[in-house]
Amino acid sequence: MPSRTVAIASSVGLHARPASLFVQAATATGLPVTIAKEGGNPVDARSILMVMALGAKNGEVVTLSADGDGADAALDSLVALLSRDLDAE
Amino acid sequence: MSGIENRTFHGIGVSAGTAVGPLVIVTPAPTAPADEAATTDAAAASAQVRDVLEQVASGLEARAATAADHARPILEAGAMMARDPGLAMGIDTQLQSGKGPATAVTAAVEEYCAMFLSLGGYMAERVTDLRDVRDRAVARLLGQAEPGVPQLAVPSILAAHDLAPAETATLTSDTCLGIVTAAGGPTSHTAILAAQLGIPAVVQAVGILDVPAGTVVAIDGGVGEITVDPSQEEQRLLEERKRRRAAALAGGTGNGATKDGYPVALLANIGTADDARKAAKQAVEGVGLFRTEFLFLDRETMPTVEEQTKTYTEVFEAFGTRRVVVRTLDAGADKPLKFADLGPEENPALGRRGIRLGMIRTDVLDTQLEALAAAYQATGADVRVMAPMIATQAEATWFAERVRALGLPKVGVMIEVPAAAIRSRGILYHVDFASLGTNDLQQYTMAADRMQGELADLLNPWEPALLDVVALACEGGAAMGKPIGVCGEAGGDPVLALVLAGLGVSSLSMAPGKVPAVRTALSLHTREQCQQMAAAARASASGPEARAAVLAMADPVLTDLL
């Protein structure tokens, strides 16, 4: 299954507005995208509650995985999103 | 219902004005019944719960579409949570273990709440949103209407036990004719919001929730009277009172002064640049209290100097050459800042709040002062900066030096702590002015939590002990030749305003809607009469006796204002 790793660039970590933007983008791919912290279980990236409960902080590395048509392109776009400081924008 | 029909009862009037309309009851949230039937068909129950959550989500979205800017994100976030696949998964697990639907929703939500509470900060705050979704879903599963303030189809009078800030976020004076609460006090959130919006309101109206929804009621937010199913004659009397009130208030828009010309400046309390623009259009002599908290609360990080400067500049520009008294950030344990949280405290009201927090997090205070100085430089406005919760001379000098070092023209303190009132002379030696925050001054003088509605008797602003403390502060002001204002709720009561003027207060700041009544009250009495009223109030044995004594001495036209 295609997967990518990326460090969280948002200064506040992956919660509040950045989490909401990420979840909306993951939902929009139409694919069952998951997100996991290093050594942790993957959770549904389309769930704002699960993503916020991850508590991924600024600089922490997460793994995104997805299966299906266009999974590679979808993951690349999500990686690009998490590489930006969403909170500052 | 014969016991309820045509009944009149009383509460505490907290926002003057009269209204007649159908009663809408703000229903409390139901809980999942302890004996809810177990789930036997998990798949069917899962479909039912998902359907209900979708209804909750669409309901919140529909409200978001028409909500004010500040309320929209809260409602949209709620809709997103109701549709959350993680929540649905958690609920499915509970249903598969045999729990009934409402119990399963409650349990799944609590699992996330526990997780968020342990993460603290921003996440802990989301617990309120999540539980709101739970309350709505549980009510629908039990076949009830969603709790909270409903969409008002026709202009109505709202009745509730008490209203939370989130519940009042969407209220407007177009659809909400009046507010009646069974609990709450004169300084509760409901009271302050109602006065700001100019909606008549009565609190502590025990029994209002026994009146059936839809019943027409008449309320008088001045005297705190509620008439259920009013007769034609009663409605006529209320109209008459409204008319006389309008006539008494038609007395002009000039500066505040007693009948013999002793000036008492009439100022507005504001919280945002939007408030400033609205208040500036009214006949007020400036701002007596600009609460700056709104810039800071609900923020992840401290607002930058640039952002703060922009807001302060907008406020100063709105008032041109009129004075603007700015209170620096009054945050602390009960209004924690996410970016400057000092942790939980046993007694938040007695903890590290106001200037105490400012002296620990000097970066937060200095950033604010820098922005205020920049906005002052840009506008040349009549800016006066004051610190909250000052108790000692050392705190006053510490603050005054910082403010003056930045070139800000006038520095003052809030007198909310009895220590500062008792020793106001020493404190005023170091600053240019003081403003009495009567709400906090009262809670500290009476050792009574102002959020505790059950203690309303101790929180009557007519309490002679409070008037004595105000008098002490004013004596210090007179001795030092420095002005003392009032910016608590007491200043907006047209009768109490006379007493405060008699005690020597030189300005009164209040919700802008209260200014006309106070202006008229002052214009009907001489300074000497005000002083006699102050003496009579202080000689009384209790708050209600003090008020009765002053009313007996007042011009009869004053009663039309109540």
**Considering the domain B8-26+149-242 in this protein, what is its CATH number?**
3.50.30.10
Amino acid code (one letter) for B383: V
Range(s) of the domain holding residue A47 = 3-82
- The percent of residues above 70 in pLDDT, for chain B, comes to 96
- Report whether B320 contacts B296 (CB < 8 A): no
User: Mean of the pLDDT values across residues B314-326?
Assistant: 96
CA distance B21 to B161: 19
Does pLDDT of B1 surpass 50?
Answer: no
Q: Is B62 strand, coil or helix?
A: helix
The H helix count followed by the E strand count for chain A is 3, 4
Mean pLDDT of chain B: 90
- CA-based nearest distance B119→chain A, Å: 8
Helix (H) or strand (E) run with residue B192 in it:
helix B189-197
Cβ separation B81–A48 shorter than 8 A: yes
Q: Are B466 and B448 in contact (CB under 8 A)?
A: no
pLDDT band at B499 (very low <50, low <70, confident <90, very high): very high
Whole-structure pTM value = 0.64
B80, B300, B301: residue with CB nearest A20:
B80
Q: Are B188 and B203 in contact (CB under 8 A)?
A: yes
Which residue in A44, A49, A87 is closest to B81 by CB distance?
Answer: A49
Distance of CA B259 to the CA centre of its chain: 32
User: Is residue B493 within 8 Å of B499, Cβ to Cβ?
Assistant: no
Q: Tell me the pLDDT tens digit for each residue of B56-91.
A: 999 989 888 877 776 677 788 889 999 999 999 999
Least confident of B93-97, B271-275, B307-311, B520-524: B271-275
Whether A88 contacts chain B with CB within 8 A: no
Task: Judge whether B21 and B156 are in contact, CB under 8 Å.
Answer: yes
All residues of chain A having their beta carbon less than 8 Å from the beta carbon of residue B86 are 43-44, 47-50, 53
pLDDT tens-place string over residues B514-529: 898 899 999 999 999 9
Cα–Cα dist B243/B519, whole Å: 18
* Predicted confidence (pLDDT) at residue B338 exceeds the cutoff of 90: no
* Closest Cα in chain B to A12: B300
Name every residue whose Cβ is closer than 8 Å to that of residue B76 and which is 6 or more positions away in sequence.
B60, B61, B64
Q: What is residue B259's predicted lDDT score, i.e. its pLDDT? A: 95
Residues A38-44: contacts with CB under 8 Å, at least 24 apart: A38/A62, A38/A63, A43/B86, A44/B85, A44/B86, A44/B89
Q: Which of B443, B444, B415, B432 is nearest to B503 (CA)?
A: B415
The answer to whether A15 contacts B130, with C-beta atoms less than 8 Å apart, is: no
Nearest residue on chain A to B109, alpha-carbon basis: A49
CA B334, CA B353: separation in Å to the nearest integer? 8
Q: Which CATH code of 3.20.20.60, 3.40.50.20, 2.160.10.10, 3.40.50.300 fits the domain covering B251-557?
A: 3.20.20.60
* Higher-pLDDT residue of B278, B336: B278
What's the rounded Cα separation, in Å, for the pair B187 and A58?
41
The pLDDT of B39-43, averaged and rounded, is 92
**Nearest-angstrom CA–CA distance, B490 and B20:** 27
Structure tokens of B246? 């309008």
Q: Does residue A87 belong to any structural domain of this protein?
A: no
pLDDT 10s digits, B103-137:
999 999 999 999 888 877 777 777 878 888 999 99
- Choose the mutation target among B115, B117, B130, B302 for the interface with A, i.e. most A CBs under 10 Å: B115
pLDDT of A8-32, one tens digit each? 998 888 887 888 899 999 999 999 9
Q: Residues near B35 by Cβ (< 8 Å), separated by ≥ 6?
A: none
- What are the chain B neighbours of A42 within 8 Å (beta carbons)? none
The reported pLDDT for the residue numbered A46 is 94
* d(C-alpha B408, C-alpha B428), whole Å: 17
Distance between CA atoms of residues A56 and A14, nearest Å:
5
A16 touches chain B (CB under 8 A): yes
Residues of A in contact with B87 (CB under 8 A): 47, 49
Structural domain includes residue A45:
yes
Residue A78 included in any domain? yes
Query: Are the CB atoms for B31 and B138 separated by under 8 Å?
Result: yes
- Supply the CATH number for residue A61's domain: 3.30.1340.10
Of A12, A16, A47, the CB nearest to B84: A47
In tens, the pLDDT along B358-376 reads 999 999 999 999 999 999 9
Chain-centroid distance, C-alpha B166: 13
Residues 6+ apart with CB under 8 A from B308: B295, B367, B368, B371, B372
Q: How confident is the model at residue B334 (pLDDT cuts 50, 70, 90)?
A: low
The superfamily (CATH) of domain B42-141 is PtsI, HPr-binding domain (1.10.274.10)
CB atoms within 10 A of CB B334: 12
Helix (H) or strand (E) run with residue B83 in it: none
In terms of CA atoms, which chain B residue is nearest residue A18?
A: B300
B508 bridge partner residues: B266, B486
Kindly indicate the confidence band of residue B333, based on its pLDDT and cuts at 50, 70 and 90: low
Pairing of strands B201-203, B12-15: antiparallel
| Neighbouring residues of B138: CB distance < 8 A, sequence distance ≥ 6 | B29, B30, B31, B32, B102, B105, B106
Structure tokens at A81: 């999103």
Does A79 contact B at CB distance below 8 Å?
no
**Are residues B85 and A44, on separate chains, in Cβ contact within 8 Å?**
yes
* Closest approach of B412 to chain A, Cα-based (Å): 35
* Torsion of the alpha carbons at B385, B386, B392 and B397, rounded to the nearest 10: 0
CA B132 to centroid of chain Cα atoms: 22
Tokens describing residue B324: 């603007």
pLDDT in tens, B247-302: 777 767 889 999 999 999 999 999 888 889 989 998 999 999 999 988 887 777 88
Residue A17 located in a structural domain: yes
Evaluate whether residue A89 is within a structural domain: no
Handedness of CA B78, B82, B84, B86 (dihedral sign): positive
Q: What is the pLDDT of residue B4?
A: 47
Alpha-helical runs (H) found in B322-463: 355-360, 362-379, 393-405, 418-422, 424-430, 438-446
Q: What is the pLDDT of residue B122?
A: 72
Residue A71 inside a domain? The answer is yes
Residue type, position B94, single letter: Q
Which chain B residues have a beta carbon less than 8 Å from that of A22?
Answer: none
| Share of residues in chain B with pLDDT > 90 (%) | 61
Residue B386's pLDDT is: 98
The whole-angstrom separation of Cα B312 and Cα B325 is 11
Is B189 assigned a catalytic role? yes
Q: Which residues of chain A have pLDDT under 50?
A: none
Q: What is the mean pLDDT of residues B328-349?
A: 80
Q: How many domains does chain A have?
A: 1
Which pLDDT score is estimated for B2? 39
Tell me which DSSP letter residue A57 carries: P
Q: List chain B domain ranges.
A: 8-26+149-242, 42-141, 251-557
Q: Token digits for B148?
A: 């909270």
The catalytically annotated residue of B430, B487, B525, B530 is: B487
Q: Which residue has the tokens 């997100």?
A: A35
User: DSSP labels for B216-280?
Assistant: EEEEETTTTEEEES--HHHHHHHHHHHHHHHHHHTS-----B-TT--B-EEEEEE-SHHHHHHHH
Of B84, B122, B301, the CB nearest to A49: B84
For residue B472, give every residue at least 6 positions away whose Cβ sits within 8 Å of its Cβ, in sequence order, or none: B421, B422, B424
State the pLDDT at residue B15: 86
Q: Which residue has the higher pLDDT, B468 or B235?
A: B468
Size of chain A in residues: 89
Are B116 and A12 an interchain contact pair (Cβ–Cβ within 8 Å)?
Answer: no
